[in-house]
Amino acid sequence: MNKTANISTPTIVALQMCSGLSPDDNLASLKRALKTLPTARPLLVCLPEAFLVFSKSGNDTLRVAKQVERYKLQLSELCQHHNIWLNAGTIPEPFNEHKYYAASHLYHNQGELVATYNKIHLFDVNVDDQTGSYRESDFTQAGSDVVVVDSPFGKIGLTVCYDLRFSGLFNELVRQGADIILVPSAFTVPTGQAHWQPLLTARAIETQCYVVAAAQHGTHENGRQTYGHSIIISPWGNILSELPTGTGFISCNADLDQLQKIRRDMPVQSHQRFREHLL
C-alpha cells in the first residue's frame, strides 16, 4: 500500500524495492513504479541501495559494474521521459579489475548526471541472521569525498546505508549546506529492528535536515533478507511518511521555510563546540 503526503511542489519520493539478481528485471520494476508516481513537478525519486543488482557474490556484482554505462544511459533516459530528478540508490562503478565503488548517482530531469557519491563506510560486520558475516571491503572500494549538491528541492547531501552510523559524515554534510540527506539502504533485519529508526531520527534531529531513506525489503533471490521501513523524517524528528513492508513509495513536500525556522530557533550548528574529523 502506498502512503503519500498532500501533493504540492516540489515533491520527494522514496521507492521501496525487493531487488533481485537481474539488472534488467530490476530496471523493469523501476519502470513500472515510475508510472504510478505523483504528477507534481519538480519530483525527486530516491531508490534503495543495490537497486540495480542484489547479487549473490562480489564477483557477480563486478560483472555488472563492467557493463554499467548501458544501465546509466537507461536511467538518464527515464529521467528525461518522466521529467524527474533521480537518486539511483547505489549501482556498482568499476574501481579496478577486482573492486567496484558502491556509487550513489544523482540525475536531474534532463538526464544529466549531476553528482556521484561513493559509499565511504563499508559494512564489514557479523550479524545474527542467515547470512552471518558481511565483508563489503572484499569487493567494494571505499570512497572518500563528501557530496552536497544544489537542486530545486534544496541542497542534497548523499550517504549510503552503513554511513548512517557515523554522525561525523552527517555533521559535515550540514556544515556544507545540506537541507536534505538521502540514505539509500539495504539494512539487515536484526540491525533494522534494533537501530534503523533511532539512527535516522537522531541524524535528522542533530543536523536539522530532512532525512529520506529508501530501503530494500523482503527475501531476495540472493538469499538475503532486508528490513524495509522506508521512511522520511522532518528536521524536527517527526516521521512524515513510512512504508514498513512490501514494495511501493512514500512521499513528502520538503518545507525549507520551516527548516530554516527550526535552525533559527535552535541554532545548533553555531553552538557546536566540537568539530569531528571525517577521516
- Produce one character per residue of 61-84: b if its CB has 16 or more CB atoms within 10 Å, e if not: bbebbeebeebbeebbebbeebeb
Known active-site residue 69? no
Residues 6+ apart with CB under 8 A from 107: 75, 76, 79, 85, 86, 88, 113, 114
Scan for cell 550513489, then name that residue. 104
Query: Which residue is catalytic, options 119, 136, 209, 252?
Result: 119
Known active-site residue 221? no
In this structure, which amino acid lies at residue 13? V
**Dist CA 70 CA 262 (whole Å):** 43
Query: Which residue is catalytic, options 161, 172, 209, 252?
Result: 161
Known active-site residue 172? no
Query: Which residue is catalytic, options 49, 93, 136, 172?
Result: 49
HSE (CB half, 13 Å, CA atoms) of 93? Answer: 16
Q: Which residues are catalytic?
A: 49, 119, 161
